[in-house]
Every structure is written in C-alpha cells, then in structure tokens.
Chains A and B, each alone.
Chain A
Amino acid sequence: MTGKKILLLVSSCTVCSGLDNRNFDRLISQIKQDRRIGKILELDQICRAEQKRKIRSLNTRGSDRAIIASWCSREALGKIPLPKGIDPSLVEVLDLSLYSPKGVKGQPSPEPLMCAIRETAARLALSEPVRDRRIRFSSDAVAVIGSHEGAMRAARALAQHGYKAILIIPQKLPKQKDRNIEVIDEAVIKNLDGIPGNFQISYVQHEEEKKVACAAVLLVGERCLADVRPPTNPRVRFVPLERFDEFMSSGAKPKGIVFLDDLGSLTSASDTSVPLWHSLLESAKNAASAGLAEQVSVIARDIKAAGLLELVWKEAAESGVKFIRYDDKSRPKIDKVEPMIMVKDIVLGETLEIPADVIVAPVTTRPWEPVFIERMFVPGDWDVRVRSRGPQRGIGQSPCDGIFVVGYAGFAKLTDQSYPELGAVLSELSAFLNRGYHIAKGAIAVIDEDKCSACNTCVRTCPYRAARMNDRWKAEIIAEKCAGCGNCVAVCPSRAIELKNCTRAQIESQLLVSQEAIF
C-alpha cells in the first residue's frame, strides 16, 4: 500500500441518488473516517459540463489513485473524465445505483453506499498500475490448412474477397495462377505457435522444416474415407457417394456393391446425418432396382429408419438391399485377398463375408488436426477432446481467437453440406482481420518460480494456453496470451501464482472491510 491516499469524487446529486442532504452528509462523514481515503470532492450533477471541467483541472497531488462514485447511467458514467495525473488503471468507477434505488425519495440508509465505497477503496489501495497493450497483427495473410478440394475452394474464396491466402496442403498441386494465393504443397503441419494476429506455423516440406507467419488460420475440413481404404485390396474399388450417379451410368457391372456409413470423424464413433443417410438409401435402392450388381448391401452401425426415412428404407429393402449392422468394437474390414468385407453382424453373432467389388462411402470431414487442438485452448486432457463449451463464439470460430474452422462435422456429412458455412466464416474472419490488433491484458497472472512445484496444473487449467513449462522446468505465463481470469491462481497447490490487482491480500482486505462495516 502506498503512502498516497485515494481521491474520492462522489456525486452529491440528490435527484439521482434519492438521498437527502442529511443522509448524504452522514455518508461523507463516515467515509472520511477511512484512513485509505484522502481528498473527497462532492460534485452536484457530476454529468454536467462545468463539473467535468472541474474534474479535469483538479489538483491531484497527494493521490495516485481515485474512485469516481455516482448514480449516473452507464453512458454518463463512461463520459466522466479521469482526473489528471492519475494512472487510468488506478481509477475505479463505482455505479452506486446498484446499492440504492435511483431517484427514490426518503430511501434507506446510506450504509450500503458507504460499504461499497470503502470496499472499493480497500481493493484499490493495494492495486498496481497496469496497462493493456495492443499488439498489431504482423501480417495480413490467412493460412488455409486442409486437403484437396476443400482447402482449394476456401483459399480461392478468400482470394476472391481480396485476402491473401497461404494454402498449406499435403498433396501436390499444379502451378496456380492466382497471385493472392501462396501455395505450400506437399507440406505436413508440425507446430503452431504465437498469438492471435501473429501466428507461426512450422511445417515439413520435402523433408525440410520451414516456417510461415500469418495473422489468422482457417482450418478446412479434410475429405477422408473410413478405415476401409482402397490400398488394402486392389480388387476393391472405391466410389464416393456423391459420385454414385456417375458410376451407375458408367456401365460397370460389379458382383457386390456395399454401401458404408463412413466413420471418418473422430469425435462421434458413428452418427450419420439424416440427409446423408437419405442419399445413401436412395442410391442403394436405385442400385438394387436397376439390378446393378448381384448383391447390394448396406453396412452401418445405426440403420436410421425413422420418419420419412422409413419409406425409403422400405423401398430399398423391397428392392433387395441387404442391411447389416455392426458394432463399434467390431468394425468392418476389407479382406486382404478377396474382394469382400468381413463384418460381425451383432444380431446374428456371426462374421459375415459380404461381396464387395465396389464400396460406396460418403466422403466425410475429419475433425481438427491434433496440433491445433492442443494449441486451441482446449484444456490439456491426455485424451485430446474438442470442447464445445467456451467463450461466446460465432460460426466458424474456434476457442482460440484468430483460428477459424469450416467444413468440419462431428459426423459424416456430405462435403457440399459443409461449405455453405464458408460464407459466414469469411465474415467472421474479415472482422478479425479488420480489427488488426490483439489486446494483451495488463492485469495478468505472475508465477513465482521458487514456489512452483512443476505440477503442470496451471498448464492444464488455463483456458487460454497462457501457462507453460519453461526450460528450467518451472511454469511461466506467456503475458500476451493471459486474459487475467485467475483460474491458475486458485488451482496452484503451492500458491506460486498471484493475479495482478486481484491478489489474496486484496480479497482479504475487502472481506475484512465488509465485516467491519458499522455505523
């Protein structure tokens, strides 16, 4: 606590406060007894221009911090100028209307008001000046990370809207004409570091490790097929569900066609969306009625036949489609030699061999790359999971500011269904880029290395991934990422962390004042 006292500017507006002069004087005389408070300036109608001038020209010597207490509306409070010579972070604005009904005459005692002012003074007396910083974005490029067509489409959309896109994909691409797209192909993402607006992505290309900087990242859903993959058996052909119509008119005559519900997504073991299921059933029905193959089968974990789907399912079954259910624990496998799928039917309890020259599977989107999940403020579970909870997020926003996602689904979804969101995500992205800066908070957590027991609890708990282990095997806070929430402070078993302007001493001081409060 400094030797300097707190300057108190209090509105003596009897109209707004509802306090008559007698009660107001009682309030002031009680506050004067608090040794933390120095000069008290009573301002009638504090919102008016001449009062504001008075505040601006106030001699603040003897005080390095101030409380402005008033009954004004929020906007009016916001317009009250700060006294000169006092650090803005050491000025507390107190809305007294919470403690007394506004504009009500003959109202209750001024005691709650006095308590509020004194409790605020108790905290403020121990605060230190802090400053939020703006860190300008270091680039204006957006890294588009994904695979195949999806990522290309997203990068092109960005370029069309005038943004610089850096496309990082694992495949090889022919030379691109668009100057707004920088292509980094045949690249595998290794790491993501940095803060919103200043990300560094490291990747490996042609066995060399490289880095690229960007302001924002757009993760694009990757097409993938189930773990029944073509290369395992060259006698089995894969046809994406979206292209099945083309296949039907191609004149091919397979022995067995198997329709699979694709389980490429990680989060839900199997949950096929209704439109996809509808499409699958229709295609199977068409294949069977056209006599395209000797046997048309559908192998799925959940055979959805509710509502309108029941009609389609019935028609499919009547056309001769065979439906086989499997369990999560015994998923279908392609035989290595013969063109068939082995699956344990959970109803019959036997392992069936289904002829499968052609496997039709919907292309799905896979969830987020592990390195991004780790970095994207998901708490450090060992079993990395994407959390649905988090600070209010719009479409396409991940828990991390500046990292956007599009085209990802929790379950199998036709790719075409995922991309309408791209437009919405682009608007969020442009709002982010236009902001142009990241706010690094001043009231952050600070770790005392000597007390740290290196238990990793703060690293796991921090919602912003601002806590990490340094080279000395002690925890440290990355100042630019810390949002000053104090969760790490409370979980640290060794009490090695303190939060600026919400220290234990401050909380205790407020507690004591709140109980001492007597009239």
Chain B
Amino acid sequence: MIIGERKPISEIAKMLVGKKKILLCGCKTCVAICMAGGEKEVAELASALRLISDRDNLGWEIEESVVERQCEKEWVRAIEQKIIDADATVSLACGLGCQTISDMYPAKHVFPGLNTSFLGVPEEQGVWSEKCLACGDCVLYYTGGICPVARCAKSMRNGPCGGSSDNKCEVNLETDCAWAMIYERLKQQNRLDLMLAISEPKDWSKSHSGGRRKIVRKDLLIQPTDRTGKEVKR
C-alpha cells in the first residue's frame, strides 16, 4: 500500500497562518493502515493544532473528518459542504487524495498534511519497507518474486554488481543485496537457469521516467463517444 508520514506539525501550522476555519480530512485506506492519516491521526493533529491555536490566540476552528478513500470523487463529494465552508483543508491522505480534493474544488486552499513516501509492505507491526517502484513492466517472474528495481540500489536487471559483499549492498551495508536474495530464492525454486540467462535492458519508458502515465480501458468506459458518435479524446 501507499506509505506516508505526517509532516511535522510546525510545518503544517505555518501553512495555516491567517486561516480561521480549518478542515482536516483523513482517509480510511492506505494511510490509515500505516498509521499516518486515519481517524486517530486526524484527532491527534487536531489536538496539537488546537494547542497551538489556544496558546498563540490564532482562533482556529478545527473540524475533523475522514472519508473512505480520498482519491475517489464520490467519497470526497460526501464532505463537499465542509470543504466549501472551510478556509483551508489539510489533507491527511496521500498525494492522490490531496490532489483529488484540490482538483474538485480548485479555488479552495487544500494543503498536504503528509509526505507520501513509497509503495511498501508491513514487515511487522510498526515497520514498513519499500518493495515496488511501479515501473510498469514487472519482472518478478524472472527474479523469483524479488523486485530488482525497488530492492536493488542500482535497479540492476542483471545483478549482482561487483559491490555485493557478504550478501549486503555496498550502498548501504544494512540492506541485503537484492540479487543475492534473488539467487537464493531461485535456487530454492530450482530455477537457477534464470540467473544465467542475460536479460535485455528494461524499457524504462513504461515507468515514470517515460512521463506521467495514464491507462484507458476502452471496455470499461461508460461514455466512449459523445452524442454525435465521435470518440471522446482522453
């Protein structure tokens, strides 16, 4: 899921200088699960901001809200009135949620309360680590289920590099060398022949390096054409 971390409260407070009615909006999906922007964290931020407001006589009126998934318009629409009434909305969702609100109400001031960090998994309660870089061209078949793009510091396609020592990465000695792990994994799966095969260079145009990505599924479009029957450009 998407992992984020709340910005320092002092940083958020600076964004709200001069505001009066402030709406905090959290999300119940990814950021709730990584304990950054769920209802609990919204309450925590509200308590801290109220402390600042009381102490510095800023007169902030803080309202707390949470939507199911902030990146979907229907869920955001449910709190439309609150957004309109507020002088500023602080989104505690990932960058997607913050932008969704802002795109829907472009004249309103919508600020990010989180730093969206990475796509990650919970290793154990309280520990999240990055495992996928959304490169658009998944090679997990060839690497026994270990992503060389996200977990190798050099994103090597044919690893390991010469710096791999004692199964650790030379860039960060605490990180396991992804390719050492891939070797062990393929060995367990009796697919070591894949290590010998040389892979072609990756097509990075499918990743973010190729520009902002968009997927259009023609079979799912509800309005593929306009009233005259002409295909709508997307």
Which residues of chain A have a CB within 8 Å of any CB of chain B?
Answer: 379-383, 451, 453, 455, 457, 460-461, 492-495
Contact = CB atoms under 8 A, between A and B. Distances in A.
A392 to B, nearest CB: 24
Nearest to A381: B124
A493 B124 contact: no
Given A493-B32, A493-B33, A457 B39 contact: no
B43 A493 contact: no
A494 B123 contact: no
Contacts of B125: 379-381, 457, 460-461
B43 A495 contact: yes
A455 B32 contact: yes
B28 A453 contact: yes
A460 B35 CA distance: 14
Contacts of A383: 124
B87 interface: no
Contacts of B164: none
Contact of B38 (A380, A460, A494): A494
B40 interface: yes
A494 B43 contact: no
Given A493-B38, A493-B41, A494-B39, A455 B123 contact: no
Contact of B40 (A380, A461, A493): A493
Interface of B: 28-29, 32-33, 35, 38-41, 43, 66, 123-125
B33 A492 contact: no
Given A382-B124, A457-B125, A492 B28 contact: no
A495 B39 contact: yes
Contacts of B43: 495
A452 to B, nearest CB: 9
A453 B41 contact: no
Nearest to A459: B125
Nearest to A383: B124
B213 to A, nearest CB: 28
Contacts of A455: 32-33
Contacts of A493: 32-33, 35, 38-41
A427 B136 CA distance: 63
Contacts of B32: 453, 455, 493-494
A493 B41 CA distance: 7
- Interface secondary structure of B, over-half rule: mixed
Given A455-B33, A457-B33, A460-B125, 19 more contacts: A380-B125, A381-B124, A382-B123, A453-B32, A453-B33, A453-B38, A455-B32, A461-B125, A492-B40, A493-B35, A493-B40, A493-B41, A494-B28, A494-B39, A494-B40, A494-B66, A495-B39, A495-B40, A495-B43
A57 B39 CA distance: 49
A494 B41 CA distance: 9
A496 to B, nearest CB: 8
Nearest to A492: B40
A492 B38 CA distance: 9
A453 B1 CA distance: 13
A453 B40 contact: no
A460 B32 CA distance: 16
Given A492-B40, A493-B40, A453 B29 contact: yes
A451 B40 CA distance: 12
Nearest to B125: A460
Contacts of A379: 125
7 contacts: A379-B125, A383-B124, A453-B32, A460-B125, A492-B40, A493-B35, A495-B40
B124 to A, nearest CB: 6
Interface centre among B35, B38, B43 (most CB of A within 10 A): B38
Contacts of B41: 493
4 A-B pairs closest in CB distance: A493-B38, A455-B33, A493-B32, A495-B39
A387 to B, nearest CB: 13
A214 to B, nearest CB: 32
A461 B41 CA distance: 18
A31 B43 CA distance: 33
Contacts of A494: 28, 32, 38-40, 66
Contacts of A380: 125
B183 to A, nearest CB: 15
A515 B85 CA distance: 33
A494 B69 CA distance: 13
Contacts of B39: 451, 493-495
Nearest to B39: A495
A481 B29 CA distance: 29
Contacts of B28: 453, 494
A495 B125 CA distance: 17
A381 B41 CA distance: 24
Contacts of A495: 38-40, 43
A381 B124 CA distance: 6
A461 B38 CA distance: 18
Contacts of A461: 125
Nearest to B42: A495
A453 B67 CA distance: 12
A518 B125 CA distance: 44
